[in-house]
A and B are shown apart, each in its own frame.
Chain A
Amino acid sequence: MEQHAILQVENLQKHFPIKSGLLAPGGKRTVKAVDGVSFSLERGKTLGLVGESGCGKSTTGRMIARLMDPTAGRIMVDGVDISQLRGKDLYHFRRKVQMIFQDPFASLNPRQSIGTAIAAPMVAQKITPPGGLKNRVKELLEQVGLKAEHYNRFPHEFSGGQRQRVGIARAISLNPSVIVCDEPVSALDVSVQAQVVNLLQEIQQDTGVSYIFIAHDLSVVRHISDEVAVMYLGKMVEQGSRDELFAGPRHPYTRALLSAVPLPDPRQARAQEKIRLRGDLPSPANPPSGCVFRTRCPLFGTLGEEQRQLCIDVVPAPAVAGSPACHHTALAGPLAAGVQ
């Protein structure tokens, strides 16, 4: 057990029931949006959570912020399991974990000034900062690179990048230990995206906050994260330190994912190993048996009969640091599509 872990997630699960008709005998089928995810995050560090749409990364983030109730599993924040908190305990917990969304303004009242919006979490938590609420908000505005004069402005007067700064100011107003950033820069232009990424890193250096950084853009994740976790169809397929994972990905899915990222460098792009995945993501309501990745796995086609049967019958153990969720990691030779 790491002593420093500010956040520890153990066997986290979220199952959504599939709606069946009133008179239709649907039974109790569920979609396993998140299925047995475990990881830990140290104080002042960043964990990048990556995967394609529908892999459960956002659901995981929302459960950690307790915007969603987990079906099972433990979420330890500072040594306390918060997965089952209710009522007053949950209310106090909210100070510890905050969230930044892709578009923070989707959740803001367009008729409410920026100052009021940033103050809202402090008001809700009945916190009176020394020097007064208004001064604290102005301080926060400056901390995120906006101006104190912006206090009385309204959401529509801000650009995308500035809006994200407001979202960040709101999230840090309660001095949380963990901030879950759900695709915080995906909607921003490249030149502005860099501004926001830098800001997040500065804040981390100043306050020692830890981030769960959820994104589909692997370049940004690589830049900002210390640890990286890769999810596929609700399962954790590989996790490890950033450098290990990017330099030597071991799960076939991670390798395919990395090779699919277009490199902004024509010569490298031409030289890059290209692993192309077959087809589309299977339906989460009806995932493949055994290893969920086997239907698209570039390795699967190269396996012998017995090895394949193992993939079909046995669910690989969930990935932990240094051990990917794959039966045949040792076999992972060249996977490039051209080889087949």
Chain B
Amino acid sequence: MTQSQSSPTAVAASAPQPDSAPKPTTAPQATKTGAFLEVRNLSVKFPTDDGVVAAVNGMDFTLERGQTLGIVGESGSGKSVTSQALMGLLKGTSAQVTGEAIFQGRDLVTLPESGMRRLRGRNIGMIFQDPLSALHPFYTVGHQIAEAYLVHNKATKKQARAAAVDMLGRVGIPSPDMRFDEYPHHFSGGMRQRAMIAMALICEPELLIADEPTTALDVTVQAQILDLMSELQQETNSALILITHDLGVVAEVCDNVLVMYGGQCVESGPVDEIFYDTRHPYTLGLLKSMPTLTTKSGRLNPIPGQPPSLLALPQGCIFSARCEHAALAGDGVCASQRPQFTSEDGHGTRCHLGLPQILSIRNSR
């Protein structure tokens, strides 16, 4: 429970309905596949002066409505690039996006910019890390939210304003009618992120992508924002992709987790399995390197070395250079061959080591 003051249902009931804004919620039935969002072999490469940066290298995952998927990884793991590729924000840049991302029957990778534009904001909403720089400094907060409403709805400015004020109230901004006319710099960090959420959700998209939405915020405000996002998600039954580097945030809000390293998914599965039945040495290393509020102190167990250069990824397993257990696989296979992603009961890993070996590693610590 957050302390957000307004009761969502009460406000929604009093919200004025624009005359003509029937929102198509589903894609053409003919092309609809099973999954709500299905990503297959998604790759993103950036040509630069120094060579080709392989930011994302063959991502696969699926997502259903009402679910929260956490994508965790350290800087340079490709988690943000993945989200930008899904959002079509890399279209019109030098980035080369390949693979498939079928969202409600449409492939987001091949969809032209004009078609993508109709999905953005209406069917897929996005929240960014730093709400101060993500909001335009010259326009009022309300104007920016109403603008998002106006692009996708046939409505008058008055109706858009009413919808924006209603949305500001729903995200817990007190006296929304007054705050509508204020500029982003008048808002505190937490309020700004609430406004960003209002902007992303005003057209009630079925998919919300949040890229490090609480990283720039203090913990007490982070807790408020995470609560708010979960609440709104339950209300609208939308799907949420939460991108973060913070395993704590993942544990708090996600149903499923996808761990990224060097542009690849190294492990994915239901949140409890990732934390209590960890099957990839990198995930294990991450969990062990973190100090927590409950563990006994002493030395921390860092992962040795540095993340790989995306300009020259190793031929074998991308994690092999930092993996303390690579020798267990034998024959130098970790250094020479990329492991396949194998999945069992929704819990998958990309590792040459078999489950018995992983279990013995886990128990040895």
Quick check: B219 and A191 within 8 Å, CB to CB? no
User: Which of B100-108, B286-294, B329-337, B338-346 participates in binding chain A?
Assistant: B286-294
B216-260 toward A: CB 8 Å interface, digit per residue (1/0)? 001111111011000000000000000001111111100000000
Please tell me the number of chain A residues within 8 Å of chain B, measured between CB atoms: 46
Closest approach, in angstroms, between the C-beta of A301 and any C-beta of chain B? Answer: 10
Quick check: A274 and B287 within 8 Å, CB to CB? no
Closest approach, in angstroms, between the C-beta of A158 and any C-beta of chain B? Answer: 10
Find the residue from B219, B285, B301 having the highest chain A CB count within 10 A. Answer: B219
Quick check: A191 and B289 within 8 Å, CB to CB? yes
A120 at the B interface (CB under 8 A): no
Quick check: A220 and B291 within 8 Å, CB to CB? yes
Quick check: A279 and B3 within 8 Å, CB to CB? yes
Closest approach, in angstroms, between the C-beta of B249 and any C-beta of chain A? Answer: 5
User: Which of A3-11, A35-43, A262-270 participates in binding chain B?
Assistant: A262-270
In the complex, the chain A residue whose C-beta lies closest to that of B247 is A264
A268-293 toward B: CB 8 Å interface, digit per residue (1/0)? 11000010111111000000000000
* In the bound complex, CA of A193 to CA of B285 (Å): 12
Contacting residue for B306 out of A159, A224, A259, CB 8 A: A159
In the complex, the chain A residue whose C-beta lies closest to that of B300 is A194
Closest approach, in angstroms, between the C-beta of A268 and any C-beta of chain B? Answer: 7
Quick check: B293 and A269 within 8 Å, CB to CB? no
Quick check: A191 and B2 within 8 Å, CB to CB? no
User: Which of A20-28, A195-203, A302-310 participates in binding chain B?
Assistant: A195-203
* In the bound complex, CA of A267 to CA of B252 (Å): 9
A257 at the B interface (CB under 8 A): yes
* In the bound complex, CA of A280 to CA of B221 (Å): 7
Find the residue from A189, A220, A261, A276 having the highest chain B CB count within 10 A. Answer: A189
A78 at the B interface (CB under 8 A): no
Quick check: B286 and A191 within 8 Å, CB to CB? yes
B133 at the A interface (CB under 8 A): no
Quick check: B289 and A263 within 8 Å, CB to CB? no
A53 at the B interface (CB under 8 A): yes
Contacting residue for B293 out of A161, A219, A276, A280, CB 8 A: A219
Quick check: A257 and B220 within 8 Å, CB to CB? yes
* In the bound complex, CA of A162 to CA of B75 (Å): 15
A-B contact pairs, 5 of them (CB 8 A): A161-B306, A189-B75, A261-B293, A264-B290, A281-B218
Measured CB to CB, the residues of A under 8 A from B are 52-53, 159, 161-162, 189-195, 197-198, 201, 216, 218-220, 222-224, 246, 256-269, 274, 276-281, 337-338
